Structure formats: C-alpha cells, structure tokens
Amino acid sequence: MRNVLFPVAVAAGALLATTTPAHAVDPSFAPYVETALDNGMGPGPAPRGSATADFDSDGRPDIVTITDFTQGNIVLATGDGDGTFTPGAEIAGTAGAQGLDAGDINGDGKPDVVAATTSEMMVRYGNGAGGFTAGPSYSQALGGQVEPRLLDLDSDGDLDVAAPTFTAIQTLINNGNGTFAAGPTTQLSGACAVSAISPARLDNDTRSDLFAVDGCSSTIYALRSNGGGAFTATGTLYVGGGLVPEDIAAIDLNGDGFDDMAAIGSFSFTLTTALTNGQGAFTGSVGSYQFGGAGPTSLTAADLNQDGRKDLAVSWLASAQPGVTVLAGNGTAAMRRVGDFTVASFPQNPMVADYNGDGKPDIVTAGPGGLSYLRNTTP
C-alpha cells in the first residue's frame, strides 16, 4: 500500500549571500488577507500546530489548526479557493493537542490527522468530505516540545510516526491499515530537551531520515534511519553563540539531492544553516543570519519563486508588527534575505500551498483569531 504525505509543502533554510542567479526572480507577496477564526489564543508555541491538505476533496487546500493554546479542539478551516477560508467543524475529542501532522495513514487516498498531547498520540481518520472519525490513541513520552511527524521509516510505503522525547526519538510503526505498533526509541547522546525534528533525506536509501535539535546543548543531530524506526546519529553540529534552537527544517541548499539543515533560535533571533555530505554528516559549511529584534518561531522550506531551489519562510513575533521573513536559496550554505511580509499577530508555522489556484505557492500562518494569507505575486 502506497500512502502519501499531504502537507502540500514543507520548508527549509536560508542565510546571507551576495549573488542571485540571473534567471531567478525574488519571491514577492501581496499584503496579507485575514480570515477570522474562532480559535481563541491560537495554536500555541509548538513547531507544528497547523497543517494543510485537501480534507474535503474539492481540489482546494484546507487547514487544520490547534485552538485556544492547546485547550480547545482542533478546528478545520476549508479553503475557498481565493486565499480565504470557511471555518468548519471542530474535530471532537482533540483538546490538549500540542502538535499535529496530516497525511494518508490508512491508504484510502484521504488525508488523516495525527495529534499529540503531552502523553498520547491521537489518530483521526479523514472521510474526504471534511469530517473525521476517532481512531486509536497511543502512549507518547513528553519531549522538550510536542511534535509528531509522519514519514516512512521502513520503506514499505506506509506513513509511520516519529516524535521527540526530552532525550530521544520515539516511533510508531504503521501496521499497513492506519493503526500503529510501538517502534524503537533512539537515545541521543548529550541531549536534554529535544525541541524539534524534521524528516530529511540524508542518503541514497528509501527510508526517511531525521534532523533533530536539542534546545539545551544547542546541538543539531543528523539521524540516518536503520529501518523499523531506529536511527544512528551520523552527524552532530554545535550551533552555540547564544542560540536556543526551537525549530528545524530540511532543505537541499546546494542541489545535490540530499537535505541540508536550517534551524532558528527564538531567543537569540538567529538562523543557522549547514550542508550535509550525502552520507549523513555535516561538511562544515555553515551560514548564519541575525533577525535583529524579531523572534523567529517556526520555519518552512519551499520553492517560493519556482526556480528549482528551495527558499525559506520564517515566522516571527517579537516586534510591533509580526511577519514572515523570506530568504532565497542560491545553491550554497548561505542564503539571501528577500524581505519581510507583515501578517497578523503571533504567527505560527508557515504553511505553503497554492491557496488561490494560480499555480504559485502561497503562505498562510495561524495566530489568535484567524489565518493570515500571503498571496504569491512573483512574476
């Protein structure tokens, strides 16, 4: 059975460079449009509090998002096809969820939702019409942040789950029908508060690998999958200098077919990127960027100007006017800041998809009281 991961785009790194390819046009976005949403205090601070997929089978991307700072049920907002959304029904029984992901876990061609609390991972099966039915729940250990991620750990075509504990990566292995069995837990030497993870391609096999970031030691781990849910740490990178890493993304910065790393520090206002070598180790080529007064919260990698190189969208909030910073990839470890684009207050994990059907990847962030839509205007 072959399942697919539904978040329409995911994101990754950026930093300072001096040149832009002659053929590339900088990504640009129109002023944001907000859709009001009864989500109280918003999704909260977890790296992934919202996800995008076509949950009602109308060909338009929709959004599921955590509400009231994890105290309310997850809510579905269906896309109207113009960058606005219609608030939909709550997903019953999902209060307490702090992180989520979306993908087809049972092979029926319809996106489902996995959502994690501080102690369990909940499954909600999508019916393709905007509704969800409750599936089983599974025990999960608490981590530095709560973040379930869907990925294929054993190359069988089914989506499994990886999530951080404080000192390790825990896994659930798909039985092939959208139910899971407990998988291995991989301890990370020296870690004390793993704050974020990101699926990655670090080598030539078909198993999903991971990046993980430890918020205590400011260490990045490159983790190659051994199959069946176990990992081997094949690379580590200390990114100190006051950085308290809070989110991480996989991005192929140099076009070699293997993912490189981008991590942000909310309290140090920094972004760090690093290249890998195709065997799960870091090469030593590192870039950095200072946000200067803006607290970055989460990041997403996507090819925003469709030049074949992934860019980075970073949401930030420690400013009088919050926004999303876009940095363009240029084929090296360094990336070039394109600009800042204003959105509504307290934006969390930028979601990238073609929300208005014009063939260009747009950006949506979720915050208290609504969704902010940035329409891609790149020529």
The predicted structure's pLDDT at residue 242:
61
Cα–Cα distance, 292 to 277 (Å, whole number): 31
pLDDT in tens, the chain (379 residues): 444 444 333 333 333 333 444 457 999 999 999 999 999 999 988 889 999 999 999 999 999 999 999 999 999 999 999 999 999 899 999 999 999 999 999 999 999 999 999 999 999 999 999 999 999 999 999 998 999 999 999 999 999 999 999 999 999 999 999 999 999 999 999 999 999 999 999 999 999 999 999 998 999 999 999 999 999 999 999 987 666 788 999 999 999 999 999 999 888 888 999 999 999 999 989 999 998 778 898 999 999 999 999 999 999 987 778 999 999 988 899 899 999 999 999 999 999 999 999 999 999 999 999 999 999 999 9
Quick one: CA dihedral 345, 116, 352, 238, positive or negative?
positive
The predicted structure's pLDDT at residue 9:
36
Query: Do 146 and 202 meet the contact criterion of CB atoms below 8 Å apart?
Result: no
Total tally of structural domains belonging to the chain: 1
Residue 49 identity: G
The predicted structure's pLDDT at residue 241:
62
Of 296, 277, 270, 195, nearest to 15 (Cα)?
A: 270
14 part of a folded domain: no
Cα–Cα distance, 129 to 133 (Å, whole number): 12
The predicted structure's pLDDT at residue 137:
98
For the record, the structure tokens of 304 come out as 């925003």
13 part of a folded domain: no
The predicted structure's pLDDT at residue 239:
87
33 part of a folded domain: no
Of 351, 375, 357, nearest to 51 (Cα)?
A: 351
The predicted structure's pLDDT at residue 17:
39
Task: Show the domain range for 368.
Answer: 40-374
Q: 95 in helix, strand or coil? A: coil
23 part of a folded domain: no
CATH of the domain at 106: 2.130.10.10
Query: Do 298 and 195 meet the contact criterion of CB atoms below 8 Å apart?
Result: no
196 part of a folded domain: yes
Q: Where are the strands (E) in 296-369, listed by range?
A: 296-302, 311-316, 323-329, 335-342, 348-353, 362-367
pTM of the model: 0.93
| C-alpha dist (Å) from residue 115 to 50, 100, 181, 220, 262 | 10, 4, 16, 25, 24
341 part of a folded domain: yes
Cα–Cα distance, 11 to 342 (Å, whole number): 19
324 part of a folded domain: yes
88 part of a folded domain: yes
Cα–Cα distance, 185 to 189 (Å, whole number): 13
Cα–Cα distance, 184 to 193 (Å, whole number): 19
Cα–Cα distance, 334 to 56 (Å, whole number): 40
Query: Within a 10 A sphere around the Cβ of 306, how many other Cβ atoms?
Result: 16
Residue written as tokens 């409750």? 134
The predicted structure's pLDDT at residue 23:
52
| C-alpha dist (Å) from residue 377 to 28, 124, 295, 353, 361 | 5, 35, 26, 14, 10
Name the maximum alpha-carbon separation found in the chain. 52
Q: In terms of DSSP bridges, do strands 370-374 and 362-367 run parallel, antiparallel, or are they unpaired? A: antiparallel
Cα–Cα distance, 301 to 304 (Å, whole number): 9
The predicted structure's pLDDT at residue 45:
82
Cα–Cα distance, 156 to 173 (Å, whole number): 10
Q: How many residues does the chain have?
A: 379
